[in-house]
Copies of this chain bind each other. A is one copy, B any other.
Amino acid sequence: MLSVTDVTRGDTLGDAGEAGVLAEVFAALADQPTAGVLVGPGDDTALVRAPRGSVLATTDTMVRGRDWLDEWSCAEDVGVKVVTQNLADLAAMGGVGTGLLVTLVAPPDLPLAWARGLTEGIAWAAARAGVPVVGGDLSSAPAGTVTVTVAALGELGEGVARPVLRSGARPGEVLAVSGPLGRSGAGWQLLRAGAEASGQGRQGPLQALLDHHRRPLTDLTQGPVAARAGATSMIDVSDGLVRDADRVARASGVVLELDEGSVHSIADALVPVLGQDEAIRQVLSGGEEHELLATFADPAAVPDGWVLLGYAVGTDAPGVRLGGRRLDPSVGGWDHFGG
């Protein structure tokens, strides 16, 4: 497993210079999978195989102070998380990763050990998914600013004939999710409330929530599994269940009716830690979960391990409902520039 780097001592990016930083990065990327890579890092561009004749492409960025706090997350955590975010987007199309581009924008006083830890986190999460880092960029930033951007390339999974869009849900279909919800938001609440931040201390359910907030490790193979099973629409839960379900509902022109019993049942695992109200709030609006939310025409097609969450209803006013009551996606979920 990944370590936690001590970044309080040693060289900075400025001490090492661009070539020195790149040498560290390449060292951390030495043992990558290379089967699909025709040209890897170090030339003007990478060249990656696309045997299916098409390429999935997405990008997701993390900003220090916005998407992570150094007090709560080490460099390795950030690396794991930014890779998971990107690969979850590919999974939500029924895809798998084929290559990553990584951009670090950081001030010269950033510890070199932090950049190394970031790269190790990225390499670890990428290798876990069998995806190579094929290129990237490095740029200096104003003091205090650190941003990590990953662009992910992918292809449709084996046996997946077409991408699963947000727009394919139809009235009468069932809605299901690939795993629990609210864990990352619960972990964030725990950290905010002063739970231990070292990652070494407490074990058990609390630690699992902290871990999922820091290093979400969902089973992204469930994306292609769901696609092969006939998922008609899919999205990963990155901004909260209601907010992401609302995107599917609007793209598809349906209401997604959440089942109260299902929501309470998912929340049960969080109740001992958060209490009833906050547990339900985190299930409905906690972001960065990265489980997959999908609709299926046939309830029997829902893959093993997925949890039924509700169903799609025809409507003139697309959106999300819980127990017949319409939920406002702007409450709770994350808006980068909103209140």
Contacts and interface: CB of A to CB of B under 8 A. Distances in A.
A57 B65 contact: no
Nearest to A154: B45
B55 A93 contact: no
A141 B89 CA distance: 22
B105 A151 contact: no
A59 B135 contact: yes
A63 B140 contact: yes
Interface string A94-120: 010001010101001000000000000
B144 A66 contact: no
B53 A46 contact: no
A151 B67 CA distance: 21
A47 B98 CA distance: 13
A138 B99 CA distance: 22
Shortest 7 CB-CB contacts between residues of A and residues of B: A151-B151, A45-B58, A50-B50, A44-B92, A17-B338, A59-B101, A44-B89
14 contacts: A38-B163, A39-B93, A43-B163, A43-B167, A46-B56, A47-B55, A57-B135, A57-B153, A59-B137, A59-B149, A61-B105, A105-B105, A137-B149, A141-B145
